[in-house]
Structure 1
Amino acid sequence: MEALTVARRLPGLRRAWPRADGSMTAELVDPAGGVDQRLRAVRISAQGVVEQLPYATDPALPGLSPRLPGRLVVHRAGRRAVVLQDDRALKLLRPGRATDLPPGAAQAFGAIGLRTAPVLESGRDHLATALLPGRTLHELGDDGAAGWARLAELWPGLAGAPTTLPAHGPRQEAEVLERWLALALRHGALDRPGTLTGEVHRACARLVDGRPDPPVAAHRDLHDKQLLWDGSRVSLLDLDTAACAEPALDLGNLMAHVDLMGLTGALSQDGWRTVLDLLDGVATAMAVRTERLRVYTHASRLRLVCVHAFRPGSRSWLAAWLEQSLSAQGGRFLEQGRSGR
């Protein structure tokens, strides 16, 4: 039995990560509650054999231990774990994989007024950053309108600002999308795989063949759960993937996630329209060409189809998201496609 089929039958499945060899890792919580409501990491072989690791234990992550104070919120077997403590987020990694954030990342975003988490401690197998105040813009929904407005005021400051971050060009972004498609196909995760495959290839060609806009500092995983609002300041989380890229990369990814918020009801239709209007204004202020914004937005939507195919919480809306992503072609979702929430 294939790994994804087995994963979808596991009680308490929270999320899963596919591997190119057909195996997977996953996180579970006991749906019955009690002490085993704690997060547990699972490995699933390509043949569907399940191995559940003991709580907060992983031979590949020597810094992880059930004796650590705090709450385990992420455990990707063999790769990483995150423990939230009183004053910090502690990330545990394989020895030699724990490094400081990309040089210049905090400075680039801090220079425009965004708050980022300072590094409190780092070692060969761990990285600790300070906890930041506020709630995510995803959690706030329509109540986060002021946070979105403040982000829209600040983000154009990246245009023209010098940065020392490593380059991430259109070809690298196309490779990310192609890799997610390959994983989804390998695991049989997709409805209409042929149609999606053709659309992904066309989107990648448009990414690579089009004339790029001048690059800026980019987060590379910018979405509503990476942004905190405390009523006065916007904070930006997880700078691990920061790079120098076209401004349409972050804006397109953010627009795709805002569309997803609208589809799932995390934003009302009025809220969805308001946020997209703000982001359109950011694109104009940064001189982002419409063509590049459309292709990056479309590529992000297609990538999210593949990513969420492995997440159990998407089952109620993934088919609608696929249909709308195929029809939107980089523009705003059709109003009639959003009316049935």
Structure 2
Amino acid sequence: MLSDCWWLMVALTNISNAELESDYALINRLRNALDTGSLLTVLRHEWSYLANSKTKLCSCEVERVHPRRNQGFVIEYLMGFEGPAGSSMQRVFGQVPRHNPRDVFDETIVSLQSRKRRQLSKKYATNHVALIPALGLILRFPGFDEKIDGLRLLRDPNWIVTNLSGGTKPFPDHFARSELLAHRLGKRSVVRLLSDTQEGEAPNAVIVKLYKRHSQRSANVAALMRTLSDSNFGGQNNIRLPEIIHEFPMLPATVMENLSGTPLSELCDRDVASGMALAGRALGTLHDSQIETNEWFGPDDEVALLCERVGLAAEVMPECAPLLYKALGNSQRLIENCRSFEATLIHRDFHEKQILVDGKRAALIDLDTSCMGDPAQDIGNFLAHLKFRELQTSSDVSSQTDAFLDGYRDVRRLPAQARVQAHTKSTLLRMACIYAFSSKWHHLLPRLIDHD
């Protein structure tokens, strides 16, 4: 099946036997790292963190796998621990590097301990980042990333204070603590900084979005957000964006206000319908903004992304390959018929967690992947996530779907139904490939693909 996994291959005339053997070895190491039963046994014997912290590893689930092209793979685990402070569930990153794991591990430790990053002390290094030689696997807890310099904020939240000047919104002159809200290893992370408060008072806080070193993404996203805000984005539809307080091009990082509100995915039942309508209006407002960027995502990009995801899932789980490749062919044919559309600014990662609802208002967040493209892509992506939640919870989401589409229609006309359906199916296939690796949701793969 290796020849079907196009993203692992270069032209056969240019690939050596040594490189082929390396790819086979990499996939085998990935399979071993995904076998949670064997993984638990190995980690209980070899992971020094457990002995150092007097902690017991009780459970381990795979949540997602991220391909890193020529660097290997990153696995997101959810692990259950029991230690002196009680029981906890924590996410842990597992790296399956393409190159020698020992060399990659040594380079990682040196980089994290550098004076510039100051993320890892020599005394406790192996408590946070560890090599498991038997598996060729590097484990680390979120918050330690040699490619994101600004994560030193987690250890020193006031490191950034002296540079917070010239912003448009008040902010504290001292932060008491920091919280890691999200971390995509090697890509970006989100940190909340909170100030001291009196009893009963809500803390002042800011959100700091950190990007990998030398990335232009921070500046590009901030510029887009400022352009949208200057155009009075969403003012008539009760939709808003986070306000930018400050930018740090050298990190790079963007400091934003800490918005109030509840993620759409966490609303109570009585508020879901109105929240879905707000989500539809938010997306329609973005598509109707008349703002343009230099980045583009079209049908060819969608197919390439599908090929990558299907290729990986089929290579690691060959028993699923026939089903996956058949679905890929169907999606390719549908997407091929989506080449005629009026491009707008799209979100390109629009789902329930990208909307914060605060009463009758909503905020649209996380514009990192925004670009020009087919508005049907965003709608299909959102509808596919609703379908996934329906399968997860065995609930009926038809009323939520209707509320979302009605909200969108309040702002602008829906794209052609055939394009929305094509992008919904494409997203469902992509999600099937992502959750094929999930310990909890692997069983949903056929139902995601067979959805009509």
TM over 0.5: yes
The alignment's TM-score, normalised by the length of structure 2, stands at: 0.63
- Paired residues of 2:80 and 2:90 also in contact (CA < 8 A): no
Measure, in 2, the Cα distance between the counterparts of 1:152 and 1:211.
24
In structure 2, the partner of 1:2 is: 29
1:82 alignment counterpart: 190
Q: Which is worse superposed, 138-147 or 225-234?
A: 138-147
- Equivalent residue runs for 1:7-156 within 5 Å: 7-9=34-36, 10=39, 11-13=59-61, 14-21=63-70, 23-28=72-77, 30-33=79-82, 39-45=91-97, 48-53=135-140, 56-65=143-152, 66-68=154-156, 69-86=177-194, 87-97=205-215, 99-102=218-221, 103-105=223-225, 107-108=227-228, 111-112=233-234, 113=237, 114-123=239-248, 124-125=250-251, 126-140=253-267, 142=269, 143-156=271-284
Distance 1:264 1:289, change over 3 A: same
Deviation at 1:258, TM superposition (A): 0.9
What's the C-alpha RMSD, in Å, of the aligned pairs? Answer: 3.0
Q: Secondary structure at the match of 1:60?
A: coil
Distance in 1 of aligned mates of 2:352 and 2:142 = 30
State the distance in 2 between where 1:52 and 1:268 align.
Answer: 36
Cα distance change of structure 1 residues 135 and 51 upon mapping to structure 2, 3 Å threshold:
same
Encode CA deviations 1:278-321: one digit per residue, 9 max, x unaligned. Answer: 34443694241111111111111111111222333424x523xx
Query: 2:341 matched to which residue of 1?
Result: 213
Q: Percent identity over the alignment?
A: 22
Name the SS of the counterpart of 1:99 in structure 2. helix
C-alpha distance after superposition, 1:220-259 (max 9, x if no partner): 0000111111222111121001112111111110111111
Greater helix share, structure number: 2
- CA displacement 1:139-180 (0-9 Å, x = unmatched): 226332211122334543455542222332222222222222
The one-character-per-residue Cα deviations of 1:7-37 (angstroms, maximum 9, x if unpaired) are 4525445544233358322345651255686
- What do residues 63-108 of structure 1 show as CA deviations (whole Å, max 9, x unaligned)? 2235144122434443333323222332333221152243435644
Report the counterpart of residue 10 of structure 2 in structure 1. none
- Native 8 Å contact 1:3 1:24 kept in 2: yes
Structure 2 runs not aligned, ≥5 long: 1-27, 40-58, 102-134, 157-176, 195-204
Q: Which moved more, 1:298-307 or 1:120-129?
A: 120-129
* Equivalent position of 2:125 in the other structure: none
Is the radius of gyration larger for structure 1 or structure 2?
2
TM-score, structure 1 normalization: 0.81
Q: Distance in 1 between matches of 2:312 and 2:82?
A: 32
Would the alpha carbon gap of residues 55 and 278 (structure 1) be closer, same or farther in structure 2, given more than 3 Å must change? closer
- Tell me the amino acid that sits aligned with residue 171 of structure 1: D
Distance in structure 2 (CA, Å) of the matches to 1:54 and 1:159:
38
Distance 2:426 2:324 in 1: 11
Equivalent residues in 2 for 1:165-176, closer than 5 Å: 165=293, 166-176=295-305
Indicate how the Cα distance of structure 1 residues 310 and 288 shifts in structure 2: closer, same or farther if over 3 A, else same. Answer: same
Q: Which runs of 5+ in 1 are unaligned?
A: 329-341
Cα distance in 2 for partners of 1:141, 1:260 equals: 19
Which one has more relative contact order, counting CA pairs under 8 Å at least 6 apart?
Answer: 1
Question: Map of 1:251-266 to 2, 5 A cutoff?
Answer: 251-265=379-393
1:59, 1:79 → 2: CA distance? 10
For residue 336 of structure 1, what is the aligned residue in structure 2? none
- Counterpart of 1:230, as a letter, is D
Q: Retained in 2: the 8 A contact 1:3–1:22?
A: no
2:273, 2:403 within 8 Å by CA — same for their partners in 1? Answer: no
